[in-house]
Amino acid sequence: MKHTCLSNDNIHLHSGITYYQKQDFRQAIACFNQALELDPQLAAAYYNRGLAWYELGKYPEAIADFNIALEIDAELACVYNGLGITYRQLLDYDKALENFNIAIKLDPDFASAYYNRAIAFHNQRKFDAAIADYTQVLRIAPNDAYTYFKRGIAHRHTDTQAAIADFQKAAELFSIQGNKTWQESALLQVQELKK
């Protein structure tokens, strides 16, 4: 998930994002705490700290930080997406979908929100809804190999030929990217479906 949808010149915020990208989530949290000491109304610090809590499996802390960010600015699509993935992780699909829907309403071209909502639909075995959302991701990011792969998995339940086409496209894109592992996985899916 893209985690830097908010920008600011706060050095502690930027240091925290750097630590987050290095997957040093505890150090990232320490930096976000410092950023908030300087500016307690810095929504970006709450948002990014929420993502770090999420990565550490501290979901109540993540939800609390996301909610504080929204109290500061209720128009942040990325924060609703963060809440959505957290509630999805907790298997609270109603709240997850509610938050993904708000994120998409605020930013109709937010590919990550469609992708994350598709996963929630898929986990609920709502394959047609998942396929529709994966298709929206591909409208926004037409060369996203992982989305073709995921849509292929959803199509396996509804349309074998469409699944084959998606896995073939995923394999082609993974090949272009030099990602042999995922290319082979996509080609294996095609072979299994053609049996």
pLDDT in tens, 4-26: 455 556 899 999 999 999 999 99
- What was the pLDDT predicted at 9? 64
**What local confidence, expressed as pLDDT, does residue 101 receive?**
99
The residues spanned by each domain of the chain are: 144-195
Question: Which pLDDT score, from 0 to 100, does residue 114 have?
Answer: 99
Q: In the prediction, which pLDDT does 195 show?
A: 87
Supply the pTM of this predicted model.
0.91
3-state SS string for the chain: CCCCCCCCCCHHHHHHHHHHHCCCHHHHHHHHHHHHHHCCCCHHHHHHHHHHHHHCCCHHHHHHHHHHHHHHCCCCHHHHHHHHHHHHHCCCHHHHHHHHHHHHHHCCCCHHHHHHHHHHHHHCCCHHHHHHHHHHHHHHCCCCHHHHHHHHHHHCCCCHHHHHHHHHHHHHHHHHHCCHHHHHHHHHHHHHHHC
Which pLDDT score is estimated for 117?
99
Running along the chain, 195 residues long, what does each successive block of 10 average in pLDDT? 52 94 98 95 97 98 99 97 98 99 98 98 98 98 98 97 98 97 97 93
pLDDT at 10: 82
